[in-house]
Amino acid sequence: MNRAKTSRSCRRGGRPLRWAVAAGAAAALLGVAQPAQARPTAPAADAHYAADHIGSAMHGTASAFAAQAATPQGVPGLDVSAWEGPVDWSSVAADGAEFAYVKATEGVGYVSDTFDQQYNGSAAAGLLHGAYHFALPDRSDGTTQADYFLSHGGGWSDDGRTLPGVLDIEYNPYGTTCYGLSQSAMVTWVAQFRDEYRARTGRYPMIYAGRTWWTECTGDFTGFASTDPLWTAHYASSVGPLPGGWSNYTIWQYADAGTYPGDQNVFAGSLADLRAFAAGDLASGQGWPTVRQGQSGFQVSGAQYLLNAQGAGLTVDGRLGPATAGAVRAFQNAHGLTADGVVSAATWQPLVS
């Protein structure tokens, strides 16, 4: 295990890695759940901007990777920040990773000094790549932080290789859990960020959040689940309960060390699904799938997200059942298309416009 992985795990759990490994191994052997470790004590200054990373302040996420028996089903990937330093992307690609998320910014005062090497290097190695923003909602409004993120690497383009940006919102590493915001004020802050990102890129950002924090700080708000993909963290053999409104996840961060530098993740779907997710709100219909009633998968979830952006009010469950087929037909009728409930290229084009 390299030094970066060891230090990361120690800082996260607040106890030495040796303890975490022993506890994880014992739990695995005995078949019992591990207790959540306490969050690290918040530092008094902003000196650890470079150490903050996606999941670093998530409450109750013990360093349980030692008990993880196998990689969950899905497309393997990783997330990294300045904590890892320069990454050997050719080795990462050779080990089978298909995507990488890279920390770009934090608040409105930090840009990762390893961003270019990690972001451009992952793309050069053939990985799909994206950027994330570590939110500090007590420093400025959500619109301002979205603009800062977009100005420092957080954009999206329809090149088929770029994943949508991520709003990483979790426990405050510097002070009060919910950054001094009420639940309604936190919901407003998230809405400001996602609306600005959507307005400037044409994509809704993915939201990284854990169930416990989301419940405590937003009241388990359900209003973003119909449009924003979810990235969740749970270091166990199953994904666990999801935050309010989401019935499925797009990315699962299942361990904080393993085969790749940084955190270990899987995308929920096939490699073709991941590529379709990167394409997102396409400017052309090349390669759009045809999905019909009875099918399930990420392409169906994508159609449901887009239908909800048009006011359909569907549960995003990745299954094209009667309710989704009815919403497709209603959309097709409204746009002068053949109302057959099948989402083919002719329907995708107005749906994403």
User: Which residues are designated catalytic?
Assistant: 79, 168, 170
The residues facing 267 across adjacent strands are 75, 251
- For 78, what's the count of Cα atoms within 13 Å in the CB-facing half-sphere? 25
| Cα distance between residue 331 and residue 323, in whole Å | 12
Q: Annotate 128-172 with three-state secondary structure.
A: EEEEEEECCCCCCCHHHHHHHHHHCCCCCCCCCCECCCEEECCCC
For residue 97, what is the enclosing H or E element? none
| Cα distance between residue 35 and residue 320, in whole Å | 39
Tokens (6 digits) for 269: 């779907």
Contact criterion met (CB below 8 Å) for 105 and 112: yes
Contact criterion met (CB below 8 Å) for 149 and 104: yes
Contact criterion met (CB below 8 Å) for 171 and 201: no
Tokens (6 digits) for 219: 């009241």
Neighbours of 96 (CB within 10 A): 12
The residues facing 102 across adjacent strands are 80, 131
| Cα distance between residue 265 and residue 207, in whole Å | 15
> Rg of the Cα trace of the chain?
20
DSSP-assigned states of every residue in 10-50: HHHHSS-HHHHHHHHHHHHHHT-PPPPPPPPPPPSSSTTTT
Phi and psi dihedrals of 36, rounded to 5? -70, 140
Contact criterion met (CB below 8 Å) for 313 and 284: no
